[in-house]
Each structure stands twice: as C-alpha cells, then as structure tokens.
Amino acid sequence: MKLSLNINNRPGTVDVDGDMPLLWVIRDVLDLKGTKFGCGKAACGACTILVDGDAVRSCSYPAKMAEGKQITTIEGLGTSESPHPVQQAWIEEIVPQCGYCQPGFMMATAALLNKHPNPSDDDIDQNIVNVCRCGTYYRMRKAIKKAAQIQAGSTIQS
C-alpha cells in the first residue's frame, strides 16, 4: 500500500502494509531511530510521537492513519542549533540516565505544553504516564516546569 506521509515537515511516499505500526515505518523504513520501541503494546510510551500536535503511541498506530497528518518525531522537535524548549529544559536539568525512554517523554511533554502551557503537578501526573526504568521522574518534573518557563519566555520574545 502506497502511503503519502509528512514526517517532520518532509513529505514522502512509502510502500508498506497499511496496518504496519507507524513506529516500524519511522524506524525501519525511514531510518529515524530517535523514536524507541519499548513494550510494543502502547504501555510504556517510549514510542510517543506527535500526530497533528497530539501525543500518540506509534506502536499501536497504523501507518495508513498517518496519511494527510503532520507527524513529528524527536528528530523534528528541534535542532541542535535551536532546540525545542522541552529539549533545552532536558539538557539544563540533566534528566536522562540511560536515555532510552527519554524521546517518548519529551514528545509527551511537548504535547502537554500544547494543551497546558503552564502545567500543574496534577496536569503532569495525569498526562506524563510513560515509564522510565531509571526513575528519572523527579528530574523530569523539574524539567517539564522549566520547559514551560522557557516556552513562555520564547513566546513573549517572539
């Protein structure tokens, strides 16, 4: 099945089984390895990406549903020169330990800030339900709040 996809603002075509999880397309067909395979059953959140700005677990999202939508992976969230506020905050708070699950957390946080620019602890508890085996939750909470501050500052400046 030929699918026209727009991933990280780059349009392209892939020929895959339409039911193939979008995660497989991203990693194995397009070779974008930033998004991680964790549990494969939408439980851990390591594969979280943005679909039209909303957080989606890409291991349970069929590729055919991605047509006509804006797909953003961790590679498209920001750049080394101009990191997304979430990436900037993650760096400043030195959040990652092993780092495997972090792209999913950062994408989920980016989606959270789209809905709640100044999230409370309750907002964070309800929305950031990914799993980190290293237990970096405490640093992540600080980084999420810092990301909100950075985003608010960059919004004011722009």
Partner 1 sequence: MKKAFIIPILITFVVSVGWVNRHHSTNEPWVASTEQESQKIASTEESLIAFNTMMDVVTHQRCMNCHPSDNVPKQGLDSHAHNFGITRANAGNATNCNTCHQKENNAYSGVPGAPEWGLAPHKMRWEGLSRIEIAQSMMNRANNGNRTPDDIMHHLTEHELVLWAWEPGVDAAGNPREKPPVPKADYIAAVKKWISLGAVIPESE
d(CA 12, CA 132): 33
Rule CB under 8 A: say whether 56 interacts with partner 1.
yes
Pairing verdict, β 48-51 and 10-15: unpaired
- Provide the 3-class DSSP secondary structure of residue 29: helix
Cβ contact 140:132 at 8 Å: yes
Among 7, 25, 46, 128, binds partner 1 (CB under 8 A): 128
Q: How far is the CB of 53 from partner 1 (least distance, A)?
A: 9
Separation between Cα atoms, residue 103 and residue 134, nearest integer Å: 14
Of 11, 31, 41, 80, the residue at the interface with partner 1 (CB under 8 A) is: 41
The bridge status of strand 2-7 relative to strand 70-72 is parallel
Of the pair 5, 79, the CB lying nearest partner 1 is at 5
Binding mask 68-97 for partner 1 (x = CB under 8 A): ------------------------------
| Given 7, 27, 46, 61, the residue binding partner 1 (CB under 8 A) | 61
Question: CB of 47 within 8 A of CB of 112?
Answer: no
Q: Of the listed pieces 4-12, 13-21, 91-99, 143-151, which binds partner 1 according to CB under 8 A?
A: 13-21
Please report whether residue 116 would count as binding partner 1 according to CB under 8 A. yes
Stretch that binds partner 1, among 5-13, 80-88, 91-99, 105-113 (CB under 8 A): 105-113
Lookup result for tokens 């070779």: 31
Beta bridge partners of 55: 50
